Every structure is written in C-alpha cells, then in structure tokens.
Chains A and B, each alone.
Chain A
C-alpha cells in the first residue's frame, strides 16, 4: 500500500512518543474518524485523575470506564483551536492542521462538529500517553503549544461587541472553579453518557437515556423530555436519526436542561441605543428647569432629588423608582432590536455578523472599512489575505482568530470570583481609559463606555441549605442519615432512594444528598452566558459604580462629581450629547434571566462577603448594600459607634468581623 501522508506522520510521531504511555487502555474499535479512541482515553484519563473533582459526585466505577469507548458517528476531523500559535510543530503538521481546519470549519457549519474544547482536552490527555492518529496528533501539538503560551484553549471564547462607534472584538478567558469552562461542561456530558450507557457497550441509545435519566441528569424522564412526547422529542434532538445519543446531541440536551445554555452563549439587545441618553430618567429628574442642560446648581441638587424617589423606603434608589410611567410599560417589550454582541467563537453565526455589519453601511458585495467604524485595524486584519478593501463573508470567519484589542479574564468561583483585565494595549493606545473596580472592567472613551460585570448567582437556592432543610424535615430520628423508610415521602421531587444511595449502604448521608443536588445544578453551573445590552439609562449606569442596579448612599454622594466629569466643552453644563452611551456586558452562568436569588446571594458587582462574615451582619444589612447603616442597626448608638471604627456612619463586613474575632 502506498504510504499515505497520515500514515507517515503516524510513524514519525509514534517514534517520538514520550515514555510511560504504554499503560494506557488499549484503543479498541476505530470508528470512522479519530475522535473515538480519544474520547475513551479522555474518559480514562479523567477517571485516573482522582484529584479532579467530578461534577457528578462519587459514583464513577473506574473499572468500567477505561474499557469503554464511545462510538461517535460523524466525528469529522477536529479543528484545532484558533488561538494556538504556530510554534514548534513540524511544518508537515501545520499543513495538515490547516487542511483539517478547513474541513472542520465546513463540518462545524454543518452543525455536526464537536466544539474545539473537547479536542484540546483530548490532546492534553494524550500527552500523558496514548496512541495517536493524525487528528489527535495535531491536537496534542496544538494543545501543547496552547499551554506553552500560558492559555488553555478550553478556557477561551470571544465576542464581537457593537459599540456606537464600531465593533469591538473581545477575547475572554473563562474558568469555572479554576478549570477551563469547556472542561467542566465536557465532564458533565461525559458523565451523562457514562451513566446512560446502562449495558456498558459503549453506545448510548436514546431509549437507554430515557430509562436512566435519574442517574444521568438527576431528573425525571418528563423533565428531560421538556414536555414533549418521546417521538417529537427524538425528532428534534436525534439530529441524524440514528437512535443513538451522539456527542453533539448530548450537548444540545444538556444546554436545554433548565435553560442552562450551551457552554458559551451571547445575547443582548440594542434596544436603548441612543434613547438612554435623551430619555434618561435621571437626566429628566436632574434638569429642573427643563432647558436640556444640567447646570451646576441642578447637579448639586440631584442627590436629594434622587433620594426623594425612594418609594419603598429602603435607602436605595432603583431605576424603576425613577422611571416615567410610560417607560415602565415599554420596558416589558423587548423584541425586534438587533443584538449588541455576537458570539465570535468558531460556533458563532458569522452570517448574522456579516449582515449586521453590512446593513449599517448598506454594503453590497463586501464590507468596507467604514463598516468597522473606529476599529479599522480589525478590517485590515480580516482583509489581509487579498487586501481587496472589502471583507467578504468568508474572510469574516477570521474574526475567530484575529487579534483582539481587549482581553478579559473571567473567573467563576464561589469563594473568590474575579473579573480582570488581561490585555488592552491597543485600546489604550487608541485613547480609551480602562478601570478595574472589583468584579468589573470599565472601558471608556469620550463617546461610549462598556462595563464588563460579573454576576454569578446561577441558583435560586443554596444547595447546602437545601440539604439541611431536607434533613431537618425528613430525618425524624435525628441520627444523621436517612433510610428508605424515612424517605418514603420523597419531598420536593426527589428521585427514589436507591438512585440517591450511590454506595448502596442503605443509608443516605448529607454528602450523598449534596452530590445529588450538585448534579442537578451542574448544567447551570457550566453554561457561561454573556448578556451584552445597552443600559436602559446611561446616566444611571454611569453613577451606579458597582453595577448592582441601585444607587446607594456612597454612589449618591459621588454622583455630582460623575456629572461634572462629563463636561467636555468646559461650559460647566452637561447636555445630552456629552453623555457617553453605556453598554453593560454581564457574565453569568445559566441563561435564566429572571432567576430569583436566595436572600443572601452575591449581588452583581459585589464580591461575596468575606468567608467568616457573621450571619447577624448579613441579616442586619436589610437592603443588602454591603453595610449596616444606623437605620438598619439594632442596638444603642454607643454600640454603633464602637463597631463603626472608621467613623463613616456605616458598619462594613470587616468591621463586623473584627468584633467576632475580638477578645
């Protein structure tokens, strides 16, 4: 047989495999495409790495995992991550990579490709040892380079944000509890497949999944069916109609559960573009003489006027307390406006981006530089292949790899969430200012401001409290565990005892219950969502420095200087044209926008209270603005002064902590 290029590469690379790989489980039946053994190996690698916390809890059976491999149809050659720099990989490999990249780009658009993150993970595991096919091999190379460059491509995403002056390309580095976000979601999908594969034959049929929904997803079959009949459901979800659960189908399912969303999604509207300056309720309130200008006296009077609208008497001013009656009604209607941001990862809809840009300049056969507004370098980067001056729809795909002027790092974590600036040199050179208050990145030019905000409260409840409540309710003999008899009532839609009792010892301890709840919320906790939308009221957004949607005492005290800083032409008055348009891009998990928050949840823009913050303080802070004011305080004025060490008439969490840590 004539040696093929892949075969040659195989031979070369086999010779260069690092030692210690031979203990990898054998790669059994190669299905079409190189991803099959990779997936089995990845599962094995995950299994054999006990330090990695598994989202689904301690119920894996390590023995079975390694011997299974998953047959996945339509596993087209995976696409390398766009950001992997062309480092030390051999040239042949680069050529091959480019070819497979083009193939998989086509496959991606056909909707049958798995996301790049999975391939990268495969590559990493294979570094620990494993066999290779070409597809897997260049992944390893790419992944190795990615790591060498210091960024795990499983953690990368990007979006295109439409500022009033043009599209801003933003790259994101996102981790969940320290791990790349795609990893977390992929592990969940792996768990789902393993749990559903009841007969252990490496293939998961949809019927098998429906028989094992409790183990796989922690939900009843009806919840998984999303209200449809099985037939309708399969018509929608079994994309290739082969009655098996393929990787992409599993992903779609997990994304639909609880409206968790896929691993990365973007939404938001430009509904208030422009109107948030001219119809700003704050501006109307401040402009006492209705002459369109905010003069010095009007600015001075604004804090008192704002406070006079605190209708629910909670010490904070929210936008609805200020909004005019008509705008209260209008706020409900949200349809028909173009989005403010688009997903720019390889899964993004580049045709939508193209149309959006094209309609702004009425372009016919390609996008000229003016479509990109004040970001001409983006146009140049996309057009560089043929330098024709027009960016075609194909060239627009380059958005997935072009250099981004802004890189933001987003870390979801219960204890220490963070939103940080990673890179903004190009923006700074162009004259933008960047500020990074806690959990925010603020990018500001003279005409617009974008606020990136971390708002991580995906659950409407606290799983620990849920478990405690359940134990208190059901554990009638108070012996610290539940028996099948005690759980006979099964409150709150819990599954059967034997499903919960993973270790089969006929006792249900709180940790097993907690594992169940964690599995229940795992889809939500692994679906990163960015909502980028114009703020309803630009002035309000500018004054709301912590981004929680309410103006507190500190922000009100500061609002006069915020207004003064807007005056650009030095006439000490601010008119509507001097107010920058504001956009807020909120990072959250799960797509549910109207999710209710547990009473003491983290609020947007505010880091969680220090871990040891006493519960009495959290409850005394009635309006949850982070401090206890004299109005909220329970005790004598002397006790207040003793606690208020810095004398700012507000007791902070750290001042409360000092008391507890005291003598």
Chain B
C-alpha cells in the first residue's frame, strides 16, 4: 500500500496504488521539471491567497465583510466542522483562557490530528459514497467501510490513492470493505457511472443517460462511455456460504439504450484513447481519474471541502461543475485545485489552508443588508445534520455513553439515534440536509429524547450540576458552557439567576432544567454558526 512513502516498495508493488504511485512519480517529475520556478505555497500562504481573492470580490461588489468571529464562536465552529462534535465545557474554558497569539492555528492542527476528525470525515464520506438504504440494510459492511475510511484518513492517505483504491476495490467485503461502493448499487454500470461522475468529477453525466444533455456538452455516448468502464464488474456465485468476491471479468459490455451497439469505454470530455487491450477497465479509469489529464478531479474535491467549511461551494450545487454553472471565484478555485494537486492531494493541508483563512473566521452576524452568499462576506449558518445534532445533544447534556465493550462510535447504530434521525429525514430531503418542519420542531421541543436529556431526574448534566461545591451562578455558567460553548453574557446570567431565585427552593432544580431546555431548543444550539 502506498502510504505516502515513495521508495523501493513502489517499484516492486503489484497493487493498484503501487502502479498509481509510479504514474504519479513520473508525472511529478515531468511537471516539476516544467514548473521548477514555482514554489509550493505553504498553508498559511494559501490562506492569504484565499483572503486576497475573496477581498477582491468584496471590493468589486462594494460589500463590507462581517467582523471576525470571537474565540468562543470560532472554537465551536471549527470543532463542529472538523470533528463533528461540540467542545466540552473544559475545552471551552481552556481555549478562552489561553492567551497565546497562535492558539487558533494550533487548535486547527490539534483537531486535524485527532481521531475524532478521522471518525467524522469517515462518516461524511460514508454517507456520500453509499446510498442511504444500503447503509441501513448492510450495517456490518457499512461499519467495516467506515473503519477502513477512518484508518485511511487517520493516516492522512493521499486523496487520489484513496479514490483509486475505492474504484478498483476487488475481492470480498472482509478484505476490501470498499466493494460496498459497488455492491450497494447492485453492480449496475449506469448507476456506478452516475455516482462516479457526480462524486469524483463533479459532473451530472446521468442527465445524458437517455438522451444528449439538454444544455451541457455531454452526449449520450459520453455517459455510456463512462458506464462501459464498469461493464465487466462481476460477483460470481461461489460455493455455498463462501463470501462473494467482486472481480473483473474478461468479457462484458454495456449497450446504449434501444440499440445493440456496445459502448466503447471513453473518458468523459477527454480525447485520450482508451487502451483496447487492457482487460482491467476499472484500473484504466482510476488511472485517468487521478491523473493531471483530468481537470475535474481536483476541482471537485476542493469544491466539496470548501462547501463543508463555508456552507456552500465555490460552485453550487457542489456536484455540478458544468460550463453553464461557473464558480463564483474561478481563479480562486483554479489556484486551490493546483495547490491541492501540488501538495500531493493532501487533505489535511487543504483543510488547514481553508480553516486558517480570515474568511473562514468571519462572524456569521450580518446587518440589515445581506450580501449575496456567494461572496462569502460572512460565515453562512450551517444547519447540523440530524446525526450530528443527536451526537451534540447527548454530548452537551452528558447522556451517559451507552456502555458497550465494542465502543459505540458516533455514526454507528443506536436505536434511539436512528429514531431521532429518521424524524429529521424525509424522502424529499437530500441526505445531510436539515428538514425544519413542524414534526422536527416538535421532536426537539417535546420529543422523548429531549425530555430525558433535560429533566432533573434523568439528565446527566443536571445531576452533575447538583455537586455541592457549586453555587447557582457557577451552575448557570457551566450549563451555558456545556450547551452553547460560551460564557453567558452579563444580562443572561443576571436574568437566569433571577429566574432561579424567584421560584420556591424545591422548584430550583426544575427551573434549572427549564433553562437547559430553552438553550437546547435555541437556534444558537441547533445551527453551526
């Protein structure tokens, strides 16, 4: 396996990634020779470039950016974006008390190196790669794939190697969990082509499945040319009980609809000829996909990461990088893509560059005039995904983690979690989107989970706050730190203390619970601001 350590191993390697690495080395040598004068920017320099391009856009539009976000807001935002969890009260206090000037950049580094980051990205990718119904029906395989992705991201495996390995996954699910990408789509070539083009190229080629694309350049043969690469994927039935292995067969074609003509494999939008003699079509596709010949791959990846951090992509929708849908900042996208490639498809470097930019650290507060969102003049409000909301709820209110020797991971199955998530999803909502209708609001306000988390008898946080060494003012502070990840303002503290004091002493615990309930149901909690 290629772990970013070029060397002897590569030349001798028989694996896909080994060959890829050879290809990369060759390409790198060639392009390095060509661009020897251009220095590789480091992450902070790249961050400044991002700011420069965005500032140019603000100036052109005559828009003032929002002020910088304060430390508490930044901490919550970056922890949510990079690890999927809110910071604990302890972490908030420690960060806010830290006076060193580079604490934000050090925080970004720590979060990127933490195992929670790998877990969060693995969950995001899992939901991106596998359709929702396959995730719920094939839990074991999904868990294995999540573990595979988690380990790969923790190792900071190159993005191009990761995608190439995914596309050429062979064998049974135990050895290569990534075959779930194929088995969840029943090995159907047209579905695989549609998913591959959307996820890794940012192209909606499936619109050209039945006819030439209405307004884009894609023809029907482009779609089926891509589908032809998946024509030979098979899962032959073996002896009873043996795990089914995914293999590449020797023969097999897809035909264009309503015709008997076999589609010849062709890289979309590229004139590069496909070798007719190489039997392993998937490998050919993977090689082309990650090569510099392919202008879409890096741009699609950068756009996705940008969308994850900024709430919308430089191209929106993020999987439609078509000519009729230009990016809001074309030069910025091109520069970021080049940076990503030059860094060796290093995801951490990309996250670091974007998170360290001033634009990422802007406040989300806008005045009466809202600048257009594509200017990125303020941070967008990002709704939390349903699973994320559940995980943050239980973390904030200290619902005791289910004891399981196998260690329940955020993202793994849990009936209460599934029920909660199911309420927030509907067929109309894209996976990962936040549905905010009446059922969802009622779930949050009155649902069983929230009741359990916020009632004095069963809430872990409220029980912990009964510690005798705490006074009411401290209780208010710690409550707010745990839930909203900030200190209460002066007025808030005074108001809540007054609320606590005005009831009977026996009512105090219930009143504290009321404050907790109110905070949990606030927009400030539910959104990633």
Knowing A313-B116, A623-B401, the reply to whether A328 touches B143 (Cβ < 8 A) is yes
Shortest Cβ distance from A603 into B: residue:
B403
Interface presence of B469 (CB below 8 A): yes
Of A321, A635, A642, the contact of B470 (CB 8 Å cutoff) = A635
* Distance in angstroms between the alpha carbons of A635 and B398 in the assembled complex: 15
Chain B, 146-178, CB within 8 A of any chain A CB: 147-148, 150-151, 154, 173-175, 177
Of A321, A325, A329, A632, the contact of B409 (CB 8 Å cutoff) = A321
Of B150, B174, B461, the contact of A329 (CB 8 Å cutoff) = B174
Cβ–Cβ contact B85 & A313, under 8 A: yes
Knowing A328-B140, A620-B464, A639-B469, the reply to whether A548 touches B174 (Cβ < 8 A) is no
Chain B, 382-404, CB within 8 A of any chain A CB: 398-404
Shortest Cβ distance from B482 into A: residue:
A634
Cβ–Cβ contact A313 & B469, under 8 A: no
Interface presence of A237 (CB below 8 A): no
Residues of A within 8 A of B371 (CB): none
Residues of A within 8 A of B91 (CB): 631
Of B113, B116, B400, B470, the contact of A619 (CB 8 Å cutoff) = B400
* Distance in angstroms between the alpha carbons of A314 and B83 in the assembled complex: 13
Cβ–Cβ contact B177 & A310, under 8 A: no
Interface presence of B466 (CB below 8 A): yes
Knowing A311-B116, A603-B403, A643-B469, the reply to whether A634 touches B140 (Cβ < 8 A) is no
Cβ–Cβ contact B147 & A324, under 8 A: yes
Chain B, 428-458, CB within 8 A of any chain A CB: none
Interface presence of A615 (CB below 8 A): yes
Cβ–Cβ contact B401 & A329, under 8 A: no
Knowing A326-B175, A620-B467, A660-B468, the reply to whether A314 touches B143 (Cβ < 8 A) is no
Interface presence of A410 (CB below 8 A): no
* Distance in angstroms between the alpha carbons of A533 and B121 in the assembled complex: 35
Interface presence of B118 (CB below 8 A): yes
Shortest Cβ distance from A321 into B: residue:
B407
Knowing A325-B144, A329-B143, the reply to whether A634 touches B470 (Cβ < 8 A) is yes
* Distance in angstroms between the alpha carbons of A625 and B304 in the assembled complex: 39
Name which of A312, A330, A632 has the most chain B CB atoms within 10 A of its CB: A312
Interface presence of A318 (CB below 8 A): yes
Chain A, 297-334, CB within 8 A of any chain B CB: 308-314, 316-321, 323-326, 328-330, 332
Of A312, A319, A324, A619, the contact of B464 (CB 8 Å cutoff) = A619
Cβ–Cβ contact A619 & B148, under 8 A: no
Interface presence of B347 (CB below 8 A): no
* Distance in angstroms between the alpha carbons of A550 and B402 in the assembled complex: 13
* Distance in angstroms between the alpha carbons of A314 and B408 in the assembled complex: 10
Size of interface on A: residues with Cβ below 8 Å to B: 52
* Distance in angstroms between the alpha carbons of A308 and B467 in the assembled complex: 32
Main secondary structure of the interface of A (DSSP, over half): loop
Interface presence of B460 (CB below 8 A): yes
- CB A588 to nearest CB in B, in angstroms, measures 13
Of B83, B85, B460, B469, the contact of A622 (CB 8 Å cutoff) = B460
Shortest Cβ distance from A324 into B: residue:
B147
* Distance in angstroms between the alpha carbons of A320 and B143 in the assembled complex: 10
Cβ–Cβ contact A325 & B177, under 8 A: yes
Knowing A313-B114, A548-B405, A635-B474, the reply to whether A616 touches B466 (Cβ < 8 A) is yes
* Distance in angstroms between the alpha carbons of A360 and B232 in the assembled complex: 46
* Distance in angstroms between the alpha carbons of A601 and B400 in the assembled complex: 11
Cβ–Cβ contact B147 & A312, under 8 A: no
Residues of B within 8 A of A617 (CB): 467
Cβ–Cβ contact B460 & A325, under 8 A: no
Chain A, 568-610, CB within 8 A of any chain B CB: 596-597, 599-601, 603
Shortest Cβ distance from B175 into A: residue:
A326
Residues of A within 8 A of B85 (CB): 313
Of B144, B468, B469, the contact of A326 (CB 8 Å cutoff) = B144
Knowing A313-B85, A632-B90, the reply to whether A319 touches B406 (Cβ < 8 A) is yes
Chain B, 463-515, CB within 8 A of any chain A CB: 463-470, 474, 478, 482
* Distance in angstroms between the alpha carbons of A330 and B154 in the assembled complex: 22
Shortest Cβ distance from B469 into A: residue:
A639
Residues of A within 8 A of B401 (CB): 312, 314, 622-624
* Distance in angstroms between the alpha carbons of A620 and B397 in the assembled complex: 11
- CB A337 to nearest CB in B, in angstroms, measures 15
Interface presence of B57 (CB below 8 A): no
Interface presence of A82 (CB below 8 A): no
Chain B, 53-82, CB within 8 A of any chain A CB: none
* Distance in angstroms between the alpha carbons of A185 and B84 in the assembled complex: 49
Interface presence of A437 (CB below 8 A): no
Interface presence of B246 (CB below 8 A): no
Interface presence of B344 (CB below 8 A): no
Of A311, A314, A549, A615, the contact of B118 (CB 8 Å cutoff) = A311
Cβ–Cβ contact B140 & A329, under 8 A: yes
Knowing A321-B409, A620-B464, A634-B478, the reply to whether A328 touches B116 (Cβ < 8 A) is no
- CB B118 to nearest CB in A, in angstroms, measures 7
* Distance in angstroms between the alpha carbons of A601 and B404 in the assembled complex: 12
* Distance in angstroms between the alpha carbons of A538 and B400 in the assembled complex: 28
- CB A626 to nearest CB in B, in angstroms, measures 12
Cβ–Cβ contact A634 & B464, under 8 A: yes
Knowing A313-B115, A619-B464, A622-B460, the reply to whether A329 touches B400 (Cβ < 8 A) is no
- CB A307 to nearest CB in B, in angstroms, measures 8
Interface presence of A630 (CB below 8 A): yes
Residues of B within 8 A of A631 (CB): 88, 90-91
Cβ–Cβ contact B409 & A320, under 8 A: yes
Cβ–Cβ contact A312 & B119, under 8 A: yes
Shortest Cβ distance from B85 into A: residue:
A313
Interface presence of B311 (CB below 8 A): no
Q: Please list 5 pairs of residues, one from A and one from B, whose beta carbons are closer than 8 Å in the complex, sorted by A's number.
A: A328-B143, A550-B407, A631-B88, A631-B90, A634-B467
Q: A323-B147, A616-B467 are in contact. List 13 more A-B contacts (CB 8 A).
A: A311-B119, A313-B85, A313-B114, A318-B405, A318-B406, A319-B405, A321-B409, A328-B143, A550-B407, A615-B466, A624-B401, A635-B470, A642-B469
5 nearest A-B residue pairs (beta carbon):
A318-B407, A549-B405, A619-B463, A311-B119, A599-B400
Binding site for B on A (CB under 8 A): 308-314, 316-321, 323-326, 328-330, 332, 548-550, 596-597, 599-601, 603, 614-620, 622-624, 630-636, 639, 642-643, 659-660
